[in-house]
Amino acid sequence: MDLKKFRKARNTALLSMDEKTIRKYARKYGIDMPKDDAIFWAAVHKARTACKDLPMEARTQSKRWLIQWNLQPLDDGDVPV
Protein backbone atom coordinates (compact mmCIF):
# COMPACT_ATOMS: atom_id res chain seq x y z
CA MET A 1 0.00 0.00 0.00
CA ASP A 2 1.22 3.47 -0.87
CA LEU A 3 1.12 5.24 2.50
CA LYS A 4 1.34 8.70 0.96
CA LYS A 5 -1.68 7.98 -1.26
CA PHE A 6 -3.59 6.49 1.68
CA ARG A 7 -2.98 9.56 3.88
CA LYS A 8 -4.01 11.94 1.11
CA ALA A 9 -7.25 10.00 0.51
CA ARG A 10 -7.95 9.83 4.26
CA ASN A 11 -7.35 13.54 4.76
CA THR A 12 -9.51 14.46 1.76
CA ALA A 13 -12.35 12.27 3.02
CA LEU A 14 -12.17 13.49 6.62
CA LEU A 15 -11.96 17.13 5.61
CA SER A 16 -14.91 16.79 3.24
CA MET A 17 -17.33 15.98 6.08
CA ASP A 18 -19.42 14.36 3.35
CA GLU A 19 -20.87 10.99 4.33
CA LYS A 20 -20.75 9.53 0.81
CA THR A 21 -17.12 10.57 0.33
CA ILE A 22 -16.08 9.17 3.71
CA ARG A 23 -17.91 5.87 3.15
CA LYS A 24 -16.40 5.52 -0.34
CA TYR A 25 -12.92 6.04 1.09
CA ALA A 26 -13.61 3.51 3.86
CA ARG A 27 -14.83 0.88 1.38
CA LYS A 28 -11.78 1.39 -0.83
CA TYR A 29 -9.43 0.72 2.07
CA GLY A 30 -11.50 -2.00 3.76
CA ILE A 31 -12.43 0.09 6.78
CA ASP A 32 -15.69 -0.89 8.46
CA MET A 33 -17.87 2.11 9.22
CA PRO A 34 -20.89 2.13 11.53
CA LYS A 35 -24.30 2.14 9.85
CA ASP A 36 -25.90 4.14 12.65
CA ASP A 37 -25.65 7.88 11.85
CA ALA A 38 -24.80 9.01 15.38
CA ILE A 39 -22.06 6.41 15.75
CA PHE A 40 -20.76 7.12 12.24
CA TRP A 41 -20.33 10.84 12.93
CA ALA A 42 -18.80 10.19 16.35
CA ALA A 43 -16.24 7.91 14.66
CA VAL A 44 -15.49 10.53 12.01
CA HIS A 45 -14.97 13.27 14.59
CA LYS A 46 -12.81 10.99 16.73
CA ALA A 47 -10.67 10.19 13.70
CA ARG A 48 -10.32 13.88 12.89
CA THR A 49 -9.11 14.69 16.40
CA ALA A 50 -6.51 11.93 16.24
CA CYS A 51 -5.21 12.71 12.75
CA LYS A 52 -2.17 14.97 13.11
CA ASP A 53 -2.05 15.48 9.33
CA LEU A 54 -5.24 17.54 9.39
CA PRO A 55 -5.31 21.30 9.97
CA MET A 56 -5.67 22.21 13.65
CA GLU A 57 -8.88 24.11 12.88
CA ALA A 58 -10.58 20.91 11.65
CA ARG A 59 -9.29 18.94 14.63
CA THR A 60 -10.52 21.63 17.03
CA GLN A 61 -13.98 21.71 15.43
CA SER A 62 -14.27 17.95 15.86
CA LYS A 63 -13.03 18.06 19.46
CA ARG A 64 -15.68 20.67 20.27
CA TRP A 65 -18.36 18.53 18.59
CA LEU A 66 -17.35 15.49 20.63
CA ILE A 67 -17.28 17.40 23.91
CA GLN A 68 -20.71 18.85 23.11
CA TRP A 69 -22.03 15.29 22.89
CA ASN A 70 -20.12 14.17 26.01
CA LEU A 71 -17.78 12.00 23.95
CA GLN A 72 -14.03 11.61 24.38
CA PRO A 73 -11.77 13.03 21.65
CA LEU A 74 -8.78 10.95 20.54
CA ASP A 75 -6.18 13.71 20.51
CA ASP A 76 -3.20 13.55 22.83
CA GLY A 77 -3.94 16.92 24.41
CA ASP A 78 -2.48 18.92 21.53
CA VAL A 79 -5.88 20.09 20.23
CA PRO A 80 -7.30 23.20 21.94
CA VAL A 81 -10.95 23.47 22.84
HEC sequence for the chain:
CCHHHHHHHHHHHHHHCCHHHHHHHHHHCCCCCCCCHHHHHHHHHHHHHHCCCCCHHHHHHHHHHHHHCCCCCCCCCCCCC
Q: Does 73 map to a domain?
A: no
Tell whether the model's pLDDT for residue 1 goes beyond 90: no
The number of distinct structural domains making up the chain is: 1
Mean pLDDT of 36-62: 98
pLDDT tens column, 3-17 = 999 999 999 999 999
Q: Does 49 map to a domain?
A: yes
Mean pLDDT of 38-65: 98
Q: Does 81 map to a domain?
A: no
Q: Does 76 map to a domain?
A: no
Q: Does 56 map to a domain?
A: yes
Please give the residue range of the domain that contains residue 52: 3-68
